[in-house]
Amino acid sequence: MNYIPLVARIFLAVIFLRSGISKILDFSGTQQFMSANGIPLALTGLLLVGSIIFELAGGLSVLLGYKARWGAIALIIFLIPATLIFHTNFAEEMQVIQFLKNLALMGGLLMVVYFGSGPVSVDARSNFSNSSRRSL
């Protein structure tokens, strides 16, 4: 049972890590996509770099269970505008699915915020080390 939060964190993190890496590998294509969805061209580079940082840093934080609550909050902050900007064309079934997927991701991330990273995590190991040092 100790490994269930770890598996959940892996499942949550992988989508953000893959997305961040994909954005790096197709930076100009992602800029064009953002511009086509109403983001002013002058802002796309700055917002894209911010998106990459949020996805990779937040994804790694959740994956490793290092400051996982903060990583989950960062990913929720990233997801809210991304969902509202890119996935609200409810006339397209795929956009409805993407919208609902993002809501589900936010739900999973809220669980990390509330319950923490679990016993198999850097945070738990750090807390164990700190508490054992205090008792010496």
Residue pLDDT, tens place only, 37-47: 999 988 999 99
Task: Please check whether residue 80 is in contact with residue 59, taking contact to mean a CB–CB distance below 8 angstroms.
Answer: no
Query: pLDDT confidence of 127, banded at 50, 70, 90?
Result: confident
From CA 13, how far away is CA 17, in angstroms rounded? Answer: 6
pLDDT tens profile 63-118: 999 999 999 999 999 999 999 999 999 999 999 999 999 999 999 999 999 999 99
Helices (H), the chain: 4-25, 27-36, 41-64, 68-86, 93-115, 122-134
For position 126, what pLDDT does the model report? 85
For position 135, what pLDDT does the model report? 42
In terms of residue numbers, what domain contains 112?
A: 4-134
Task: Please check whether residue 122 is in contact with residue 65, taking contact to mean a CB–CB distance below 8 angstroms.
Answer: yes
From CA 115, how far away is CA 10, in angstroms rounded? Answer: 16
From CA 16, how far away is CA 19, in angstroms rounded? Answer: 5
Task: Indicate the number of domains in the chain.
Answer: 1
From CA 7, how far away is CA 67, in angstroms rounded? Answer: 17
Phi/psi at 121 (nearest 5 deg)? -160, 165
* Mean predicted confidence (pLDDT) in 31-58: 94
